[in-house]
Amino acid sequence: MSDTLVDYDEVLTRYEPVIGLETHVELGTASKMFCGCSTTFGAEPNTQTCPVCLGLPGSLPAANAAAIESTIRIGLALGCRIATWARFSRKNYFYPDIPKGFQTTQYDEPLCTAGHLDVEVDGETYRVEVERVHLEEDTGKNLHVGGSTGRIHGADHSLIDYNRAGIPLVEIVTRPIPGAGAKAPEVAKAYVTELREILVALGVSEVRMEQGNLRCDVNTSLAPIGSLEWGTRTETKNVNSLRSVERAVRFEMRRQAALLDEGQRIFQETRHFHEDTGSTSPGRSKEEATDYRYFPEPDLVPVAPDEEWVASLLAELPELPAARRTRLSDEWGISPTEMAWLVNAGAVELVSETVAAGASPGDARKWWLGDLARRANDAGTELGELAVTPQQVAELIGLISAGTINDQLARQALDGVLAGEGRPAQVVEARGLAVMGESDELVAAVEAAIEGNPDVADKVRGGKLQAIGALVGAVMKTTRGKADAATVKRMLEERLVGD
Amino acid sequence: MSTPSPKGQLTRDEVAHLAHLSRLAVSDEELDLFAGQLAAVLDAVAQVGKADVADVAPTTHAVPMTNVMRPDVARPSLPRDVVLAGAPAAEDGRFRVPRILGEEA
């Protein structure tokens, strides 16, 4: 079944979107939230479990100090108020992804509240209000067997791996974000991008979306322009890339507009995002929202962050991305607009690391925003997911600066690096990409070009210097791009033009 | 869910239901024994309701402690065969559960 969609620009002529984001971040602690089990990704199923995270009778949880500290640091970075008294609660539900019968989370007394994050889209700043940052535990992973899609429908039974159950999970919830209009999808993406940068700067999580370290639920609603009330929202889950955050909002806006145009109402529901089609489909209905019977977790004592401790955590926060960008703009001599391009491309850290590895800021920007951005776009991935490191890009730039290769050969070298053939220098060596010096082979190619194009050569001799381009082209063709154009031009001039 | 019993009583059926939920195999004789014992426990706990707590602030913990935490150090987990020995069914190193209806994972 495919949904009717309204053209995106048309949506905006009649409706105003309001978005909201709930972001789950798996912390990068060594051990789980309430027990000492390892959190290593990719371990064999059910090899990282114990009586506590399996909810066996008589086991008692003990809170991970590093997880609490990381949560407070995230709150501080988002300008939140840090609670002086916070508690864990039990969220009771029966679903096999949690063996205990409840998820330990924070309910009415979260660690951090009332923060904000400013994000920039096309030169305009949008303030995203953060309602709360709380700490909970992740759930196990279900594998549905028998269905063709790995989803529940048609599945015969489910298999569960509890390695992930109990890994500390921080949930960051925004307040509804009105007023973004046509930019709503981009604001949503910019928010998650900026949040991710902050988490990287804090070093609290690996934030690898493809591994599920960072997962987003995207709320979207539409209201007729001028309406005083917001519309009913849908909550799209399973949004696991930055690009998808934007796509999910855009799709929901177009889908909801079609329903509203027909006079239908939007049901508050959970929807699933499909990476392949960029569409959403209905999930479980929230009409019968479960009563989770939250109550304070009796097995864990309250957390009362000491003022001095919080003050020292605040003082020790690293330079945050926004401040860092301002400083880097100065150092690199670029405008806020140029910096915004780097941010949008997800290239700030990549360029910074490339510069740190020895490249000039100009060259680093040129490669990441140019050739590499094009490749990422063609492949439909993020820049940072390309199989090339900033150090390799710096090495490539170094080879160009040293005259070993030119830009064209560098692109071929990059092909090799991305294909897993090794570092740039190794690829240049293996593929024989180095620029030809004034070798016998190049001299022969230059002379062959002159002999093969006597008319052109005569024109150059006669003073029509611009005609030399055709001869340079001929030499480049013979040498399959490996010659340095400037060297070839000089060699041709030496032979055709007297001083 | 079985029907709750009148206050102060615990029926044999309720004990059987709880035993089932807890995956405990309980014999008929034990059901009679536990129903009586558990009823006595509930009666004892019910005495708390007689206390005058008008001037007492609600609390969730018996001891006034805060900030009990453990350092972030990974420790060995249980061997998988031990873990799965407690599962009603297992397959491919995972817990096997009946298909989950009405919800999407």
Average pLDDT, chain A: 88
What confidence tier does A434 reach under pLDDT thresholds 50, 70, 90? confident
Chain B: give the shortest CA distance to residue A87, in Å. 10
Interface predicted TM-score (ipTM): 0.70
Residue A181 phi/psi, 5-degree rounding, is: 55, -130
Contact A144 B93 (CB under 8 A): no
Q: Which chain A residues touch B105 with a CB distance below 8 Å? A: 97, 142, 144, 151-152, 158
Q: Which residue has the higher pLDDT, B91 or A269?
A: B91
Average pLDDT, chain B: 82
What confidence tier does A367 reach under pLDDT thresholds 50, 70, 90? very high
**Interface mutation vs chain B, best among A44, A87, A95, A159, most B CBs within 10 Å:** A159
What confidence tier does A150 reach under pLDDT thresholds 50, 70, 90? low
Contact B73 A31 (CB under 8 A): yes
Angle between helix A184-202 and helix A65-77 axes, rounded to 10 deg: 130
Burial letters for A362-389: b for 16+ Cβ neighbours within 10 Å, e otherwise?
A: ebbbbbbbebbbebbeeeeebbbebebe
Largest CA distance in chain A: 98
Q: Is A154 left (phi over 0), alpha (psi -120 to 50) or beta?
A: left
Q: Which chain A residues touch B1 with a CB distance below 8 Å? A: none
Residue A152, pLDDT above cutoff 60: no
Of 3.40.50.2300, 1.10.600.10, 1.10.10.410, 1.10.3720.10, the CATH number of A440-496 is 1.10.10.410
> Minimal Cα distance from B68: which residue of A?
A301
Which residues of chain B have a Cβ shorter than 8 Å from any chain A Cβ? 60-61, 63, 65-78, 80, 83-84, 86, 91-105
Contact B103 A284 (CB under 8 A): yes
Residue A238 phi/psi, 5-degree rounding, is: 70, 30
What confidence tier does B93 reach under pLDDT thresholds 50, 70, 90? very high
Contact A47 B80 (CB under 8 A): yes
Q: What percent of chain B has pLDDT over 70?
A: 83
What confidence tier does A147 reach under pLDDT thresholds 50, 70, 90? low
Q: Which two tokens stand for residue A152?
A: 């529940």
Q: Which two tokens stand for residue A171?
A: 């949930």
Q: Which residues contact residue A371 at a Cβ distance below 8 angstroms, ignoring those fewer than 6 apart?
A: A411, A414
* C-alpha dist (Å) from residue A173 to A43, A50, A190: 30, 30, 15
On whether any CB of chain B is under 8 Å from the CB of A86, the answer is: no
Q: What three-state secondary structure class fits A86?
A: strand
Q: Which chain B residues touch A46 with a CB distance below 8 Å? A: 80, 83-84, 93-95
Nearest CB partner across the interface for B99, out of A31, A66, A158 = A158
Q: Which chain A residues touch B68 with a CB distance below 8 Å? A: 62-63, 300-301
Residue A382, pLDDT above cutoff 80: yes
Burial letters for A335-344: b for 16+ Cβ neighbours within 10 Å, e otherwise?
A: eeeebbebbb
Q: What percent of chain A has pLDDT over 90?
A: 47
Chain A: give the shortest CA distance to residue B24, in Å. 12
Contact A63 B68 (CB under 8 A): yes
Nearest CB partner across the interface for B67, out of A56, A272, A304 = A304
Residues 128-157 of A with CB under 8 A from B: 142-146, 151-153, 155-157
Q: Which chain A residues touch B60 with a CB distance below 8 Å? A: 87, 296, 298, 302
Per domain, the residue ranges of chain A are 8-312, 319-431, 440-496
**Interface mutation vs chain B, best among A158, A273, A293, A310, most B CBs within 10 Å:** A158
Residue A387, pLDDT above cutoff 70: yes
Q: Which residue has the higher pLDDT, A498 or A471?
A: A471
CB A272 within 8 Å of CB A153: no
Q: Which residues contact residue A458 at a Cβ distance below 8 angstroms, ignoring those fewer than 6 apart?
A: none
Per domain, the residue ranges of chain B are 1-50
Q: Which chain A residues touch B92 with a CB distance below 8 Å? A: 45, 159
- Average pLDDT score over residue span A2-24: 90
The C-alpha atoms of residue A269 and residue A280 are separated, in whole angstroms, by: 11
Q: What percent of chain A has pLDDT over 70?
A: 96
Nearest CB partner across the interface for B97, out of A44, A158, A296 = A158
On whether any CB of chain B is under 8 Å from the CB of A283, the answer is: yes
- Average pLDDT score over residue span A317-337: 90
Chain B: give the shortest CA distance to residue A264, in Å. 24
Residues A46-70: tens digit of each pLDDT: 999 999 999 998 999 999 999 999 9
Residue A426: per-residue pLDDT: 86
Residue A180: per-residue pLDDT: 87
Contact B93 A95 (CB under 8 A): no
Q: Which chain A residues touch B83 with a CB distance below 8 Å? A: 46, 49, 54, 162
What confidence tier does A490 reach under pLDDT thresholds 50, 70, 90? confident
Chains A and B form CB pairs within 8 A to the count of 141
Q: Which chain B residues touch A158 with a CB distance below 8 Å? A: 96-100, 105
Nearest CB partner across the interface for A160, out of B66, B76, B94 = B94
> Minimal Cα distance from A297: which residue of B?
B60
Contact A160 B60 (CB under 8 A): no
Q: Does domain B1-50 have CATH number 3.40.640.10?
A: no
